[in-house]
Amino acid sequence: MPHDPITDAVLDLIARQDPDVAGLIRKEGQRQATTIELIASENHVSPAVMHAMGTCLTNKYAEGYPGARYYGGCVFHDQVEDIARERAKKLFGCRFANVQPHSGAQANMAAMMALMEPGDTFASLVLKDGGHLSHGMKINFSGRFFRPVHYPLHYPPGHPEHERIDYDAVKALCREQRPKVLMCGYSAYPRVIDFKRFREAADQCGAVLVADIAHIAGLVAAGVHPSPFPHAHVVTTTTHKTLRGPRGGLILTDDEDLAKKIDKALFPGTQGGPLMHVIGAKAVAFGEALRPEFKDYARQVVANARALAAALMTRRYRITSGGTDNHLMLVDLRGRDANLTGADAEQWLEAAGIVTNKNGIPDDPRPPRVTSGVRLGTAAVTTRGMREPQMERIAGWIDRVLAAGLQSPGERESTSRGVRGEVRDLCGQFSLP
C-alpha cells in the first residue's frame, strides 16, 4: 500500500494488539493500490480525510445538535459540527445543512419521515431502472412504510431521447397519483437531471421535491452538473462517491421549517448519537471540495467518463442513452457479444485487476444477479491522476479480458494474468493519494 508514515504507524500499533486485523487492512491497502477502481460509487479519500476518522472524536457521545446536546463535554464537538455544517452550506449554496446522517439511506429515511406519514404516497424511479433501494424497494423501509409509485425511465424505443427521463410521463404520474413527495436523483443514470422540470411536476400536485444527488454531489459542488437548488425543497446525498469524503450522509434545504422537521426526524426520529469522528472527516472533505483544484478534478472526472465511453463504443459496446454527461456509464455488453453477462464480466475483470460491478440496463431481460451490463465510473481513477489516454488503455484491457473470457478457460486465465501485470504497472505510475 502507499507509503504514509501516519498510516504505517497506526497499522504497526494495530498489529501489536491484533495482527489478524492489521494484516487484512494491509492487504486491502495493497489491493486498492494495485487495481483500477471503476465502481461508480467508490473513490479514494485523502490521507487527511482518512486519518480524521481515526481520532479521539470517536470517544464521545454527542446526542443532539450544537448548543443543545444531551451530554456534557461536547464543546469541541459542537465546533467541529458547526464547521462541517457551514462548509456544506457554502459548498452547495443553501441555508441549512444536517451533517449527522450515517449514510445516504439514513438521510433519505429522515427526509421521508419529516415529509410524510406512514402510508403516504411518493413518486420515484424504480431500482431496476437506475433508482435506489431507499427510493421505494418493497423490502426497504421506503417501500414498507410508504406507498411508492414509479414513473418510467425513458421514452419509447426509437425516440431520440430513448433511455433518458421522460419528464412528460413524470408530470402525468404526478397528476394521476398526487404524491406527497417526488424524488429524483439516481444510482445509475448517466445524463444531466433537469431539476427545474421536476419542480414543475411537483408543483402541479403540491408535492415536495426531494433530490437525492448521492452520485453527482461532487459534480454539483464543483459546478460541473446543474445544482438542484433553488428547485428542490430538500436535497439528500452521501458524502463519498464524487464528493470524495468519508462514507456518510448529508441533508440540505433552504426552507427553515423543513430544516427543523428534518432535524427532529433524524434525531431523535431515526438516529441516536452522531458519529463525530466521521463528521470531523466530513468537515475536512468539504474544506477540500471548496478549493479551486476540486473544480479541476470534477471537470476531469466527466472528461474521463466521456473518453472511456467513447473508447468502449469504438469496440462495439453499447452505452445506454448513447453516452454520459457525468461520472458514470451503463455498458450494455450484448452490443459486443450476446453471450456476455454482467456477472461474468465483473468476475473476469476483477481477476485482471479492474474492479467493476454488474448492473442491470433499462428493460434488462436478465435477473439482477446476472444482468446484461456493467456500471463503470471514473471518480476513483481521476483521483489517482489518470486522464484520457489512460481511459483508452483501460477500454482496451476491458475488451481483451471479455473477449478472452468468451473463449476457453485457459485463454481467459492467460489474458487475465497478462492484463493484471499491465494494470499493476499503470497503478505504479498513478499512486493513491
Q: From the candidates 180, 241, 306, 412, which is the catalytic residue? A: 241
Catalytic residue status for 212: yes
d(CA 161, CA 422): 39
Question: Active site residue: 35, 238, 270, 356, which one?
Answer: 238
* Inter-helix orientation angle 409-429/388-405, to 10°: 160
Look-up: residue for cell 460491478?
357
- Cis peptide leading into residue 268 (ω within 30°): yes
Looking at 4, 42, 60, 61, which residue is catalytic?
A: 61
Q: How crowded is the C-beta side of 368, counted as CA atoms within 13 Å?
A: 4
Residue 36's alpha-carbon distances to 15, 44, 340, 352, in angstroms, are 27, 11, 21, 9
Alpha-carbon Rg for the chain, nearest whole angstrom, is 22
Among 164, 180, 166, CA closest to 123? 180
63 is catalytic: yes
Residue 238 catalytic?
A: yes
To the query of whether residue 61 is one of the catalytic residues in this protein, the response is yes
Closest listed residue to residue 52, CA positions, set 285, 243, 250 = 285
Alpha helices (H) along 18-95: 19-34, 47-52, 75-92
Catalytic residue, from 69, 164, 171, 247: name it. Answer: 247
Strands (E), 299-420: 318-319, 328-332, 354-355, 357-359, 373-377
Catalytic, out of 4, 63, 337, 399? 63
Q: Is the peptide bond before 230 cis (omega within 30 degrees of 0)?
A: yes
Catalytic residue among 37, 81, 212, 344: 212
427 vs 381, 386, 404, CA distance in Å? 9, 10, 23
How many Å from the N-terminal Cα to the C-terminal Cα in the chain?
A: 11
Cα 35 to chain centroid distance, Å, stands at 19
Location of C-alpha cell 411536476: 201
Is 247 one of the catalytic residues? yes
CB 212 within 8 A of CB 162: no
- Residues marked active site are found at 61, 63, 212, 238, 241, 247
